[in-house]
Amino acid sequence: MELYNCSLEELWQRLEKGEVSSLEVTRSVFKRIADVDETIAAYLEIDEKGALIQAESADERRRKGDATTPVTGIPLGLKDLLSTVGLKTTCGSKMLADYRPEYDATVVTRLREAGAVITGKLNMDEFAMGSSTENSAFKPTCNPWDSGRVPGGSSGGSTAAVASATAIATLGSDTGGSIRQPASFCGVVGMKPTYGRVSRYGLIAFASSLDQIGPVTLTVADAALLLSVIAGHDERDSTSVNTPVPDYYGNLKQDIKGLKIGVPKEYFGAGLDPEVEAAVRLGCRQLADAGAQFADVSLPHTDYAVATYYLLATAEASSNLARYDGVKYGFRAENTDGLLDMYRTTRAQGFGDEVKRRIMLGTYALSAGYYDAYYRKAQQVRTLITRDFDEVFADNDIIVAPVCPTPAFAFGEKIDDPLSMYLSDILTIPVNLAGLPAISVPCGFTKSGLPIGLQLIAKPFAEETLLRVAWHYEQMAGWAGRRPELVTKAVN
């Protein structure tokens, strides 16, 4: 098997045994990028030169007997909203098309210190606003399983890179499902940690009370290994929680017999594709066969989650994106008539339609006379949604549900219908509103060959339990590590 097709776990073990070198692994991944990324378009910037230098350093680290980590010498890609010294950080936007940060995000610093090899920056919906990666200012990314379909979003580049084996693993961000939904569409593992588990310092914000960085990987074990590196308290992030980081990988194989799993009736209603429901129901039966105990539960305020999210997230976006005005950095419109015209023209030309739509909606929700009716009311409903989860978790360890109502949809199918696009995240948004950890694990395919994801949700900071249940399910289900067949460039 080609090195680029290996899991992070397998490569870590082979590197530690000296069976392969990081240079060999890294060259294999860049050969794969050269062969297929022109079709998939997962990358916005590729750093082969820098990656090979990092790979040499990782190999030297091992030769000297210096301390290593599971990601030492492993080629990883980064969603293009994570600040990186030496590489552009565009957020998929014309507004930041040439922006090069002078500092690394905390997660990037931790990866570099751990010896990871950074392959480049990955495509995304502009400022993480979208569910298809069609909102990128630069290009759409294709779903590796069907190039006529979207990879999901906003972390579409991150999931497509793992599915197409152009990165061994990646980091994405999840504000309303932006890791889990594309992971489901692309047939990979995608995890959103508890809000506060992973530092957001250096993440270019969309909605600060919702954004969370997480791993995108081929297997659950890979997610556990990568999360162990990036998790933990950070004094530079006031929302980072100072709580111990368990041994996620070491505890994966602990028994799940007797664990209580709730199945929310609201997540299996109208609009759920029959093939998706069948795959998720089969996953429930497999977990029951492993000894988990199931119960029907209710999350009664689920129907209000999308409306609540699109008031709170857009309000925060309106505030966060006010800084992009053409004054200090980023895009600035030319030939404008005075300061106010420069502001207006810069923002009109620099932002795409979806970002403008959300800024306007958020500004309206925060405006005088409407704040109480919209923003404050949405905060109150957010509390009710959180209480729903608290009540379920009083008697259950895990919640199981679909990730998305449907498999990946076609390009252009929803882009001109914002409400339909927003509803594709209806089963992931509540988790962000409540700040909970959740994971998408492959649970089958449709008759037409499109991946389906199973969503597991846990109590705050119960990532250890979440990963353990996901790992046991993955072992029984047998879907882990499947790759689409991609046409590569002909060898001259």
Catalytic residue among 7, 79, 184, 440: 79
131 is catalytic: no
Can you tell me the distance from the alpha carbon of 343 to that of 321, in angstroms, rounded to the nearest whole number?
Answer: 12
Report helix angle 463-477 to 274-289, nearest 10. Answer: 100
Buried b (16+ CB within 10 A) or exposed e, 209-244: bbbbbbbbbbbbbbbbbbbbbbbbebeebeebbeee
Catalytic residue among 22, 154, 158, 173: 154
Can you tell me the distance from the alpha carbon of 84 to that of 161, in angstroms, rounded to the nearest whole number?
Answer: 19
Which residue in this structure is represented by tokens 């023209």?
345
Name 129's Cβ contacts closer than 8 Å, sequence gap at least 6. Answer: 135, 154, 206, 317, 354, 355, 358
Q: How many CB atoms lie within 10 A of CB 118?
A: 22
Which residue in this structure is represented by tokens 């409903």?
381
240 is catalytic: no
Which residue in this structure is represented by tokens 């990883």?
76
Which amino acid makes up residue 220? Answer: V
Catalytic residue among 178, 184, 240, 318: 178
Can you tell me the distance from the alpha carbon of 245 to that of 231, in angstroms, rounded to the nearest whole number?
Answer: 7
Which among 92, 197, 87 is positioned nearest to 154, based on CA atoms? 92
136 is catalytic: no
Residue 220, CA atoms < 13 Å, CB-side half-sphere: 33
Catalytic residue numbers read: 79, 154, 178
